[in-house]
Amino acid sequence: MKNFFPEVDKVQFEGRQSRNPLAFRYYDPKQVVGDKTMEEHLRFSMAYWHTFTGAGADMFGSGSAIRSWDKITDPMELAKARAYAAFEFMQKMQIPYFCFHDTDIAPEGETLKETLNNIDEIVALFKDLMKETGIKLLWGTSNLFSHPRFMHGAATSPNADVFAYGAARVKHALEITKELGGENYVFWGGREGYETLLNTDMKLELDNLARFLHLAVDYAKEIGFTGQFLIEPKPKEPTKHQYDYDVGTVLGFLNSYGLEKDFKINIEANHATLAGHTFQHELRLARINGILGSVDANQGDELLGWDTDQFPTNLYTTTLAMYEILLNGGLAPGGLNFDAKVRRGSFEPMDLFYAHIAGMDAFAHGLLAAQRLLETQELEQFIQERYKSWESGIGAKIVQGQVGLKELSEYAMANDQITHTSGRQEMLEAILNRYIVEA
Amino acid sequence: MKNFFPEVDKVQFEGRQSRNPLAFRYYDPKQVVGDKTMEEHLRFSMAYWHTFTGAGADMFGSGSAIRSWDKITDPMELAKARAYAAFEFMQKMQIPYFCFHDTDIAPEGETLKETLNNIDEIVALFKDLMKETGIKLLWGTSNLFSHPRFMHGAATSPNADVFAYGAARVKHALEITKELGGENYVFWGGREGYETLLNTDMKLELDNLARFLHLAVDYAKEIGFTGQFLIEPKPKEPTKHQYDYDVGTVLGFLNSYGLEKDFKINIEANHATLAGHTFQHELRLARINGILGSVDANQGDELLGWDTDQFPTNLYTTTLAMYEILLNGGLAPGGLNFDAKVRRGSFEPMDLFYAHIAGMDAFAHGLLAAQRLLETQELEQFIQERYKSWESGIGAKIVQGQVGLKELSEYAMANDQITHTSGRQEMLEAILNRYIVEA
Amino acid sequence: MKNFFPEVDKVQFEGRQSRNPLAFRYYDPKQVVGDKTMEEHLRFSMAYWHTFTGAGADMFGSGSAIRSWDKITDPMELAKARAYAAFEFMQKMQIPYFCFHDTDIAPEGETLKETLNNIDEIVALFKDLMKETGIKLLWGTSNLFSHPRFMHGAATSPNADVFAYGAARVKHALEITKELGGENYVFWGGREGYETLLNTDMKLELDNLARFLHLAVDYAKEIGFTGQFLIEPKPKEPTKHQYDYDVGTVLGFLNSYGLEKDFKINIEANHATLAGHTFQHELRLARINGILGSVDANQGDELLGWDTDQFPTNLYTTTLAMYEILLNGGLAPGGLNFDAKVRRGSFEPMDLFYAHIAGMDAFAHGLLAAQRLLETQELEQFIQERYKSWESGIGAKIVQGQVGLKELSEYAMANDQITHTSGRQEMLEAILNRYIVEA
Amino acid sequence: MKNFFPEVDKVQFEGRQSRNPLAFRYYDPKQVVGDKTMEEHLRFSMAYWHTFTGAGADMFGSGSAIRSWDKITDPMELAKARAYAAFEFMQKMQIPYFCFHDTDIAPEGETLKETLNNIDEIVALFKDLMKETGIKLLWGTSNLFSHPRFMHGAATSPNADVFAYGAARVKHALEITKELGGENYVFWGGREGYETLLNTDMKLELDNLARFLHLAVDYAKEIGFTGQFLIEPKPKEPTKHQYDYDVGTVLGFLNSYGLEKDFKINIEANHATLAGHTFQHELRLARINGILGSVDANQGDELLGWDTDQFPTNLYTTTLAMYEILLNGGLAPGGLNFDAKVRRGSFEPMDLFYAHIAGMDAFAHGLLAAQRLLETQELEQFIQERYKSWESGIGAKIVQGQVGLKELSEYAMANDQITHTSGRQEMLEAILNRYIVEA
């Protein structure tokens, strides 16, 4: 295997005192935290598209990235070089999982058949590299949004041929995900939404979206794919309005169409904030509904209105995310996938390392802080005390369904001078600071 | 009945050519539009709180409104004066419905009992005034958010006594709504949300919110209240995050808790935009799910991040709203309630008239434009043509569930060169302009 | 000249009753409105980049546009075909002006010299086509943001070589703008901003930006270019923060660096809303400061946080924009440049026509409404009455500088019971509706 | 002096290991950091309005705060009790400064004269209490936004009598600020903006705003007030659009009206984010323009669109703010004023302590981190290296004004293959984390 990153050796844990920018200061894969190692808790995954296909283009400029495989012109040779480079990178970074869309890994052909053949050729290579390195597939998916054929949607296209085409691609993507031992399969509906209601039959589109998902579930059973299905919500971008707006909306959709048993949710931090929610909110809502499946670990800029997909470095966010994940009993078979791209100005290969180190250390740090929060139960005790009226008396009766409005009204007549206790938000924020700094 | 607005006679329809600012130019109650009169289509309602209790205070300033009843100091006398003034106003404005919260109409007492007695006294007066004027109650509700006892929520309070207190108030509000022949009952959960997740048990709070709603439904059955229950979504404000975020979220919530048969949705335009949606989007999503119940007719300022509750004057919004409402077969038993307040600088009594005229004419105009759109079927034909692939061939097979991924894959292999037609957004926007101007 | 749009003849004015989607219903170039023809008022311009270079790509998908020149593979031949097509399009659309960036019109070469030669070759062709058609250049500019060399800025790059490179390009762009009789020269600083303050010397960058502009002004004088210089504000995107945030910020910048005499502002509607302002606000602020120079006519979606560059069809926006422009005494030598792109789903050549018709009719409609508003003086009279206290008494003394705080305090002691009149916002909004519909 | 907070003794520094929620863990007033003590660096100030007048009301609910002086009904007695309580609180909290609006401290009377007399009576009490405690006045101001007389603006009112009234109040506020040794005087123009342009003469309003400020400057000279004048920008709320939008806008305004020598800026964190900027951005822009005067220390919620005025606890924000402040050579005569209010649910007196402790520790922590960043010069060295091309060669020539576009063009022709270095954003963010955690 050619050495694509000769300037970097394996990135190692060196501890807090290290000033080596190519070392981990927090992420120590084998360190036991609570009942698992860090590696088992965090289940880090690399996003093939951003890290090995993306080049730093944005709406106002072309790609800026400099990569050692840039000069390869044959598309299949380029695809192979990227595969070798990706596995070298993951090994050096100690990242145990990766995720990909079918068209990330191989060029589209003139025909669907040719496209699938191209993909299959790289899948075979992946299989070898996975065996050789022990790196595993967190999830696979099919890109049903980039090609112009999906301009009006895939499952929600006004054109039934596009639905069929998308179905063919999902069929194949399920097969290769199974082939590679993928532990999950994700649907992100990048074009499943609308640009204007003036030309849109929303009812038919939503029905078709549900039909599409049912077909995938059926086929997975048929071929014995036992991975977890995931839906990834996003409120908008590229479309004006995407049907999988946020966790709450997806929950309603799954329920309405009888899909609630078959799907969990893949939550992306940046998508949460674009929908007006904190990342923690989306994790919490999914968790308490039993559908927190996996995470796209990145961060947005709340002052910007588009998906910036930055590497996650904010310790508040990583701490509160890991807090929810620990309360969820972990994410497995999901994981923390770095759906993040280096800034356009971070165009050197070294930035891929620095960025992943920044993200991995931020999540390892967050894990330690969250674990400590749960060990001391400092927040939990506050909350328990705050809600203790529900454990006995009228509270318990309400919870047990023993009282109706009449009984409650009688109770209230006799108990109408309410005394409260403070919510103590400011004190709790100071406590959170302490856990983050001391982690 | 004292004359509170001596400067205004009954506001009449005078037609497009009128320059009288105290006349309707579009709203002609008895004009037949399609299958109903304008009055029947629009079912206008006045919001008691904004128009007869609100005084123009904001977070940085006290009330500015000048009202002829301001000098009354006895709270019950003031409440009565407002009631007379309100019915005079509605009569002069030809508004057939009103809506209120219990505490809009009467002052809170020292005890719950006293509060309910105060309310009952005004309800009796309302009953007389309604009989006398023929004005009807669109919906009633209980204000479970303004008093400090609800600071941490009502149904979602950490304090079970508050749940009980809220239950007592809803019991009573249901009774008076029934007493007054109210056609709907609304829940807007102004404090049913959270300020910070650091102190919040979201699961218990959501469970309790559902319990609360179930209790209300049960009690309504018990007392024979047959009005429609409505939930009004809002994403935030006053709380950082409200559980009834938007239509999609409420849909999921209702399904999850077995409430989907008992509730429809009351959609407020300004709440829609605060959640990142157009008003039309929320109406559409509710409509196709069969839960579009009623409308809070106002408008926000999309460049401002709080609920401005402006009177609706934007003809795009009113046209597209009426388009959805007509497709819904109307709103009854719901209606168009002006949950809107005059600007703080529009402090004179005359502004109440000008503002309601502006809103009523804007909706009457929108009705005419929407009706014409549906008569010509210009948009419908475009959409039908756009989706025609679903009526035969592979499209029909998909819809009828006759094909799986395998069959679709075979089909796609043979049909992989997709041809599209344009979505024509720009042309459709120009067509919409034509309908609005020509209405 | 090859016929690139054989399916369309010259688009003509047919009046309100027309249902021909390829006709103008409002835009009648020779119709006199007030003191000028519509053509003279509106000074429409086509944006070369969106309409003849853009292909509909977005951050999640490749280009979708189908154009008859797509199959040309030689870059210079393609550039020429686009030029012929553009002039054919403008002629058929009766658009009298166009705007371009240097690299829109010709491919970049291996070297700067080659790039400039490529551009010059097309400029020569433009010159012929302009002579032949009578179409004129509203403004020219240099694209200093798309190529990776500008990834950290052009005038504000940390790398002085990039400043020099940008300077060379501006020098050349000034020369060709002069050569083509361009009436303005625009600076939009797409990368003149920062991604993170952690690596940014803001002071040096702002100083360098001013230096760059001074150099351009000096060189323009040297070569006798007498066109108007314009700065186009934008708050963000592509960078996290752009220095030319909005009109107010640019005003401060120009003043601070002694550039206020040499620059006016080119205001883009969508940039205004991204900065949290209405389009009208930005026009007004520029107008009253005497620096309203030109307009990028498009519209954004206020519920989306990125630059959508939609064709302007909202009649409120076009009416209020034309209101400010009429009060400005027109825009000349500036104009209304359609910096707008057809939606990705509007991929057919016909959509270019429909979209420009929609925009041109919306602005012609807005012109008529605004002209009528100014003729009747209905708003002006209201405003004059509202501010009349400034024309005599204490108001006049304040304006004339005859009183200090002491005198004002004495006056206030004797006049402390203020009476106000209503701002009448709701009534005024209804009046605006009337003008728009009746225009 | 009555003991209003008997439950709390003086809050003391106890160090990182302390778990006492009523102790400082970071703020040690006499600890020397660089060249000054913490107390001298931070110059903490209490906001009289939020902490001693505010009661927790919001747009949807009345005040929730429980205070030991609530039961006092006589307005002047209440005002005095608050004054005693405020000084007790500041002493116990070791806060050396406070800020107030005139109407925070005493009730408005029937007449202007009575209002000023009321204020004077409390000012006399303040003077005694300040002498007794050593607590000082950071800045004074007049509230020209809460009373309905200011509904259409104060300096920018359409009504000249309101301008005069406001002038009288500013005259008096300047006098009492001088009397109390106030080190600054602030203008926050809460109603200096507009609700709709349909009724607004923006030019006259801006001219009048400048006139008002000039009058204040003149009067200050007349009476020998030598404190610093400050303008506090805010983009919106309560008005739709405020003239002092942000630092960039104010900079332009001051320059345009010849006020740039007399004013610096008071930057509020939450106002920065409402305008679409980071707090650091606004501090930086003011700093490099030499007009960073003082800070309103709070934090907003970037997912909410209104001014939440939360206590500042985010360590990223406090660290980067202190970084700018240290580079500014400190804030004196300005300071860090906690323009922050406890959450409505934090209604107990203890929350006032917890909240200020949280904010003071967060800023003390930020100071330590920022000081260390400047001592190691880790960021500075990166930046210096990044911009080194400006110190010699073509960069130096540009800076020194030795080259024009021609020379630069020649240079670029010979140097057109640019090489860049990465901006390293991700690496720098990881470094910032290290400084925050290790501070």
Q: Which of C143, C188, C195 to mutate to test the interface with A (most CBs of A within 10 A)?
A: C195
Closest CA to C355 of B380, B421, B431, B319: B431
Task: Inspect the interface and report whether the beta carbons of B420 and A170 lie closer than 8 Å.
Answer: no
* Active-site residue, C172 included: no
Q: End-to-end distance of chain C based on CA atoms, in angstroms?
A: 39
Write the residue in D202, D415, D418 that is nearest to C288 by C-beta.
D202
Q: Which of D108, D141, D344, D351 to mutate to test the interface with B (most CBs of B within 10 A)?
A: D344
State chain C's mean pLDDT as an integer.
97
Q: Is the pLDDT of residue C160 over 60?
A: yes
Write the residue in C311, C316, C437 that is nearest to B426 by C-beta.
C311
Closest CA to D297 of D25, D78, D41, D30: D41
Task: Inspect the interface and report whether the beta carbons of B420 and C311 lie closer than 8 Å.
Answer: no
Mean pLDDT of A288-294: 98
Other C-beta atoms lying within 10 Å of the C-beta of residue A256? 16
* Tokens at C237, concatenated: 């995107």
Exposure pattern of C379-416 as b/e (b: 16+ CB <10 Å)?
A: beebbeebbebbeeebbebbbeeebbbebbbebbeebb
Task: Confirm whether the ipTM is greater than 0.90.
Answer: yes
Task: Inspect the interface and report whether the beta carbons of D437 and A434 lie closer than 8 Å.
Answer: no
Task: Inspect the interface and report whether the beta carbons of C198 and D428 lie closer than 8 Å.
Answer: yes
Task: Inspect the interface and report whether the beta carbons of D145 and B307 lie closer than 8 Å.
Answer: no
> What residues of A are in contact with residue C108 (Cβ under 8 Å)?
none
* Cα distance between residue D275 and residue D250, in whole Å: 13
The chains in contact with chain D, meaning 3 or more Cβ pairs closer than 8 Å, are: A, B, C
In a 10 Å sphere around its CB, with 0-12 CB exposed, 13-18 middle and 19+ buried, how is residue A181 labelled? exposed
D236 contact C CB<8A: yes
> What residues of B are in contact with residue C276 (Cβ under 8 Å)?
303
Determine the distance in angstroms separating the CA of D69 from the nearest CA of chain C, rounded to an integer: 31
Give the H or E element holding residue B369: helix B349-376
Which tens digit of pLDDT belongs to each residue from A318-333?
A: 999 999 999 999 999 9
Task: Inspect the interface and report whether the beta carbons of D148 and B240 lie closer than 8 Å.
Answer: no
| Three-state SS annotation for D368-436 | HHHHHHHHHCHHHHHHHHHCHHHCCHHHHHHHCCCCCHHHHHHHHHHCCCCCCCCCCHHHHHHHHHHHH
Task: Inspect the interface and report whether the beta carbons of C307 and A59 lie closer than 8 Å.
Answer: yes
* Cα distance between residue C276 and residue C298, in whole Å: 16
Question: A298 to chain D: nearest residue by CA?
Answer: D426
Question: D279 to chain A: nearest residue by CA?
Answer: A303
Q: Number of B:D CB contacts under 8 A?
A: 101
Q: Is the pLDDT of residue D106 over 60?
A: yes
Which tens digit of pLDDT belongs to each residue from D128-162?
A: 999 999 999 999 999 999 999 999 999 999 999 99
> What residues of A are in contact with residue C59 (Cβ under 8 Å)?
58-59, 237-238, 306-307
Determine the distance in angstroms separating the CA of B213 from the nearest CA of chain C, rounded to an integer: 32
* Cα distance between residue C404 and residue C398, in whole Å: 8
> What residues of D are in contact with residue B304 (Cβ under 8 Å)?
236-237, 240, 305
Task: Inspect the interface and report whether the beta carbons of B345 and C315 lie closer than 8 Å.
Answer: no
Q: Number of C:D CB contacts under 8 A?
A: 282
- Residue window 323-352, chain D: list those with CB within 8 Å of chain C: none
At residue D1 the predicted structure's pLDDT band, cuts being 50, 70 and 90, is low
Please tell me what DSSP assigns to residue C312.
P
Determine the distance in angstroms separating the CA of A302 from the nearest CA of chain C, rounded to an integer: 11
Q: Are D170 and D142 in contact (CB under 8 A)?
A: yes
Determine the distance in angstroms separating the CA of D197 from the nearest CA of chain C, rounded to an integer: 8
Determine the distance in angstroms separating the CA of D354 from the nearest CA of chain A, rounded to an integer: 5
Q: Number of A:B CB contacts under 8 A?
A: 280
Task: Inspect the interface and report whether the beta carbons of C197 and D159 lie closer than 8 Å.
Answer: no
Q: Which of A405, A407, A427, A435 to mutate to test the interface with B (most CBs of B within 10 A)?
A: A405
Write the residue in A355, A421, A437 that is nearest to D426 by C-beta.
A355
* Pairing mode of beta strands D193-194, D241-242: antiparallel
Task: Inspect the interface and report whether the beta carbons of D151 and B237 lie closer than 8 Å.
Answer: no
Write the residue in D63, D238, D301 that is nearest to B240 by C-beta.
D301
A178 contact B CB<8A: no
Q: Are A134 and B405 in contact (CB under 8 A)?
A: no
Q: Is there a cis peptide before residue A333, judged by omega within 30 degrees of 0?
A: yes
Furthest-apart CA atoms within chain C: distance in Å: 82
* Cα distance between residue C135 and residue C87, in whole Å: 8
| DSSP string for residues in C247-281 | HHHHHHHHHHTT-TTTEEEEEEHHHHHHTT--HHH
Question: A111 to chain B: nearest residue by CA?
Answer: B416
Total H helices, total E strands in chain A:
16, 14
Residue C270's contacts (CB-CB under 8 Å, 6 or more residues apart) are C296, C298, C299, C300, C307, C308, C309, C310
Determine the distance in angstroms separating the CA of D345 from the nearest CA of chain B, rounded to an integer: 6
In a 10 Å sphere around its CB, with 0-12 CB exposed, 13-18 middle and 19+ buried, how is residue C116 labelled? buried
Task: Inspect the interface and report whether the beta carbons of D145 and B63 lie closer than 8 Å.
Answer: no
Write the residue in C59, C301, C307 that is nearest to A240 by C-beta.
C301
Which of the residues of D are catalytic?
101, 104
Task: Inspect the interface and report whether the beta carbons of B347 and C420 lie closer than 8 Å.
Answer: yes
Determine the distance in angstroms separating the CA of B87 from the nearest CA of chain A, rounded to an integer: 31
- Residue window 364-393, chain B: list those with CB within 8 Å of chain A: 379, 382-383, 386-387, 389-390, 393
* Cα distance between residue A405 and residue A166, in whole Å: 52
Low-confidence stretches of chain B (pLDDT < 70) are 1
Write the residue in A255, A395, A425 that is nearest to B255 by C-beta.
A255
* Tokens at C250, concatenated: 């640019």
Give the amino acid at C326.
L
Which tens digit of pLDDT belongs to each residue from A58-112?
A: 999 999 999 999 999 999 999 999 999 999 999 999 999 999 999 999 999 999 9
Which of the residues of A are catalytic?
101, 104
Closest CA to C23 of C360, C347, C341: C360
* Cα distance between residue C119 and residue C126, in whole Å: 10
At residue D2 the predicted structure's pLDDT band, cuts being 50, 70 and 90, is confident
| Three-state SS annotation for A238-259 | CCCEECCCCHHHHHHHHHHCCC
Task: Inspect the interface and report whether the beta carbons of D273 and A361 lie closer than 8 Å.
Answer: no
> What residues of C are in contact with residue D170 (Cβ under 8 Å)?
405
Which tens digit of pLDDT belongs to each residue from D250-282?
A: 999 999 999 999 999 999 999 999 999 999 999
Question: B344 to chain D: nearest residue by CA?
Answer: D151
Question: A304 to chain D: nearest residue by CA?
Answer: D276
Q: End-to-end distance of chain A based on CA atoms, in angstroms?
A: 39
* Cα distance between residue B90 and residue B133, in whole Å: 9
Task: Inspect the interface and report whether the beta carbons of C151 and A307 lie closer than 8 Å.
Answer: no
**pTM given for the model:** 0.98
**According to the model, what pLDDT value does residue B280 have?**
98
* Cα distance between residue C77 and residue C75, in whole Å: 5
In a 10 Å sphere around its CB, with 0-12 CB exposed, 13-18 middle and 19+ buried, how is residue B324 labelled? buried
Write the residue in A167, A248, A250 that is nearest to B405 by C-beta.
A167
